[in-house]
Amino acid sequence: MSKEHDTGLSRRGFIQTAGASAVAAVTLGNVVEAQAPPSASPLQTAEDMTALWLTVNGRRHRVLVEPRWSLLYVIRERLGLTGSKASCERGECGACTVLIDGAPRYACLTLALEAEGTEVTTVEGLMQGEDLGPVQQAFVEKDAFQCGFCTPGQVVAAEGLLRAVPEPTTDQIREGMSGNLCRCGCYQHLFGAVARAAELRKAAGGHGL
């Protein structure tokens, strides 16, 4: 008996079977492609947008937004305030921290629509004219940054902490700043900067602005 008969499938049969499978695969692929739903949704029009008023750093802005847009996106891409950084964009690093009615919030996890009717403060809003605010000045004095990417969020988080607890203990500083990550590991300098900022704020009458 030949080897072709031993295997139960001749070379001719194998080729014919393989060819039929290839044709079936191509045909199936064409069917799936034809039945696939459109990959792109229509662009948003003005009628699909929502108008809202945002108060940011003491100024009111009227903006059109999609309901799904985050406060971070609107601040950066619509208002041009790029101090708040887009990093993880899922509430894990704190680089986007802003103050909402004085309390630190992750702007990447906050919808722009949620911020209507509130007072939003970004790192730009902590300046005193052209001068640094007390927290910003303390960060410079204590060399509380390296690459600087997380620094705006750290500064805003520190400001929020000091508004709630003007003279925090070391443990309170550690807890209050725990939601902000520093990839460079400058935590000792950061904690020292927050303590120094408390002193500067107290000397200025307890105000961060």
Can you give the residue range of the structural domain that contains 177?
127-204
Final residue belonging to a domain, choices 100, 125, 150? 125
pTM of the model: 0.76
**Does the structure show a pLDDT above 60 at 133?**
yes
Average pLDDT over every residue of 142-170:
96
**Does the structure show a pLDDT above 60 at 138?**
yes
Residues 97 and 81 in one domain: yes
**Does the structure show a pLDDT above 60 at 80?**
yes
Domain count, the chain: 2
Q: What CATH number has the domain bearing residue 67?
A: 3.10.20.30
Q: What is the pLDDT of residue 14?
A: 43
Residues 112 and 135 in one domain: no
44-66: burial string, b at 16+ Cβ within 10 Å, e else: eeeeeeeebebebbeeeeebebe
Final residue belonging to a domain, choices 104, 125, 146? 125
Specify the long-range contacts of residues 160-164, CB closer than 8 Å, at least 24 apart.
160/97, 160/99, 160/102, 160/103, 160/104, 161/104, 161/194, 162/135, 162/194, 162/197, 162/198, 162/201, 162/208, 163/99, 163/102, 163/208, 164/102, 164/103
* Highest mean pLDDT, choosing among 7-21, 27-41, 181-195: 181-195
